[in-house]
Amino acid sequence: MSGSLTGIYESISYALQLHGQSISQLQEQASTGNRVNRASDDPSEAYRILGLSSQERSLDSYVGNIADLTGSLQMSSTIITNMASQLADVRTLLSQIVGGIYDADGRKRIAEKVDSALEQLVSLANTKYANQYLFGGNNTGAAPYVVVREGGKIASVTYQGSDEARRVDVAPGLDVAAGPVGDEVFRNDNRGAPVFLGSTGAAAGTGTSSLRGDAWLTVDYNGANYRVSVDDGATFVTVPPGGDTNQAVTDSRTGRVLYVNTTGINKTGVELVRLPGTYDAFNALIGLRDMLTDGHGVASQDLTSYVNECVAGVEEVRNRLVQANVTTGSQIGFLDTLKQNLETMQYDTQDQTTRLQQADVAQIAIDLSREQVLYQMSLSVAGKLMTMSLLDFIQ
């Protein structure tokens, strides 16, 4: 008898507990709007929801990276456009000199404008965006270009940034450069044969020179031999009798070398040597400014001819900037398309997560009502069972 009553009591308690749990779960689903609130609700679905949530966070991070990167590239593009415009203005001024519009005093005034353009180019190249230098490659914490001044004017501009671009993850397994590397954008690196523009008889040697941009070759005679210099006479190299087809002349200021064929040298003087394909935006303007200011002792008519030749150097750099801007624009377009694709994937992920997790509120209301009725019925039955006595069994 005792065992039977105990079994009935335990069965009733267990049944009521199950009803209570069902009602509690349905009430929680109704209040949260979610069918799966914890892993124990549906382990399989919970695992899928966790995976989708992780994917959504990852996609959100990529979309954020692309937004930041696009802003940086747009700023870089604006700066490159401004620099190209500055060089175009300089080219126009130089063309006016070649056309004979300006005399010596006018050339000096233009030299001041070139110097002002140079200052602006350096300032633009050292621009920061989001507290990072845009054109320093992977080194974003220091100004990429270092300036050396003489007499208050820029004497040289040297790149000190990284040769490697900073890269940013923009999609699973995909990273892209965070911006153009200054030394690749503002300097051409397609070296051609040196061009000697004077009348000293010097010509290009057979070796590959390392000098860049424009250089001034000074030829003098010490009474026995010709001597040549590319550092404004700071150091000279003596030409052997009969000359040399590949004589190395080093610039003591930079350590760079110009290979000269000295076999045809027949007079002294100073002449301009152009090294096509090696111009950079800064030193090209430095050379032009100095040429217009002091002329390196070159006759006025020759100086005009030299300025005309240097227009090609300025145009070379400007074309380099235009090409870099096209590349940057293409990269921005690619990132915009990628961002749209990732946002679509992110939306699909959110939609799938919602479908797995969100509860059918109408169905929950029906189920909850049914469970409550069953619970009330169970309580009624339990009440009758628990009132049983020994007399009920005897009868």
Whether the pTM exceeds 0.85: the reply is no
Return the domain boundaries, the chain: 53-188+312-345, 192-275
Looking at residue 179, what is its pLDDT? 85
For residue 99, the model assigns a pLDDT of 64
Q: Give, for all 395 residues of the chain, the pLDDT tens digit.
A: 445 666 666 676 766 666 666 666 666 666 666 665 555 556 666 657 566 677 788 888 989 999 999 999 999 999 999 999 999 998 888 887 766 665 677 778 888 999 999 999 999 999 999 889 999 999 988 999 999 998 899 988 999 999 999 899 998 888 988 888 999 999 888 889 999 988 899 999 999 999 998 889 999 999 899 999 999 889 999 999 999 999 999 999 889 999 999 999 999 999 889 999 898 889 889 888 888 887 677 777 777 778 888 888 888 889 999 999 999 999 999 999 999 998 888 888 777 766 666 655 566 666 666 766 666 666 666 666 666 555 555 55
Q: For the structural domain made of 53-188+312-345, what CATH number should be given? A: 1.20.1330.10
Cα(175)–Cα(166) distance, rounded to whole angstroms? 10
**pLDDT given for residue 5 in this prediction:** 60
